[in-house]
Amino acid sequence: MKHIESDALVVRTIAYGEADIIATFITESSGKLSALIRGGRKSTRRVGGGLEPFHTMRLRLDDRGGELVTLKDARIVRVRAGVTASLATLEAAGTALRWLRHLVPPRHPEPAAWATTLGLLDALDGGSAEPRVDLAGAALRLLADVGYALDLARCVVCGKPCPDDKPAGVDAARGGLVCHACGGARQVLTPGVRRAALAAQRGERAAFTRDEAEQVLAMVAVAMAAHGGIAPK
């Protein structure tokens, strides 16, 4: 049996039977883990004041290698009540946790994706002025963090670099740009969006307008569907 102590985010809770719930966590040290919380439908107070998403929890778990681990205890170590202050921040945070749940494999830590998600949640908690812009930047980073970075510099078919000052077709399902000679793509990124997206991939602050952020999020939805099996929403 392995004893695990790690920071974690709750990414899903589902009812199980009359009284219990199954909670899925993304842990910093051990990736995705699910635990049966007995009596959890009545009260999750036993587990550190609740299983609210967006707050960082510190968990102690016993892992016997089965499908479910045993939750010994949990406490909240970082409250992010500000996330729920507006529908826009709440939705952005919910989307990010859904991505994280699909991108992080069971029992395999993804420290970069963990850090990117916490960074976004902190920004949303702090009253982000542009939640969709922050979400778009984090999304590009998140894909890169888990090895699915979109190639926004060269054609994914022929490998030719795309000139910095020209619009470029992008097919996120194929992993990035597709040049004219290789058939192009329906979605077209302006040079400005592409520059900002490349900067966001490197971890710089996203410098998208609202409209550009929506273009990026549409592209990301296709990439997430291709890689994480996440239905575009």
Q: Which stretch binds Zn ion (CB under 5 A): 59-67, 84-92, 137-145, 178-186?
A: 178-186
Report residue 153 as tokens.
Answer: 């510099």
Tell me which stretch binds Zn ion (CB under 5 A): 26-34, 120-128, 181-189, 190-198: 181-189
Among 4, 76, 153, 157, binds Zn ion (CB under 5 A): 157
Candidate residues 90, 182, 222, 225; the one interacting with Zn ion per rule CB under 5 A: 182
Q: How far is the CB of 219 from Zn ion (least distance, A)?
A: 18
Among residues 42 and 166, whose Cβ is nearest to Zn ion?
166
Distance CA 146, CA 101 (A): 12
**How many chain residues are in contact with Zn ion, going by CB under 5 A?**
5
Residue 211: partners with Cβ closer than 8 Å, 6 or more residues away: none
Smallest gap from Cβ 148 to Zn ion, in A, equals 20
**DSSP calls for 170-212:** EEGGGTEE--GGGT--SEEE-HHHHHHHHHHHTTPPP---HHH
Q: How far is the CB of 179 from Zn ion (least distance, A)?
A: 3
Residue from the set 74, 179, 189, 193 that interacts with Zn ion by CB under 5 A: 179
**Can residue 158 be called a binding residue for Zn ion (CB under 5 A)?**
yes
Decide whether 157 or 222 has the Cβ nearer to Zn ion. 157
Structure letter (DSSP) for residue 232: P
Choose between 68 and 157: whose C-beta lies nearer to Zn ion.
157
Please identify, using beta-carbon distances, which residue of 149 and 182 lies nearer to Zn ion.
182
Instruction: Assess 155 for contact with Zn ion (CB under 5 A).
Output: yes
d(CA 114, CA 110): 6
For the beta sheet containing 56-63, the strands, ordered from the edge strand earlier in sequence to the opposite edge, are 31-37, 20-27, 2-16, 56-63, 70-78
Cα–Cα distance between 155 and 93 in angstroms, integer?
Answer: 32
- Please report how close the Cβ of residue 218 comes to Zn ion at its closest, in angstroms: 22
Examine residue 152 and tell whether it contacts Zn ion (CB under 5 A): no
Pairing of strands 168-171, 70-78: unpaired
Q: What is the largest CA-CA distance in the chain?
A: 61
| Residues binding Zn ion (CB under 5 A) | 155, 157-158, 179, 182
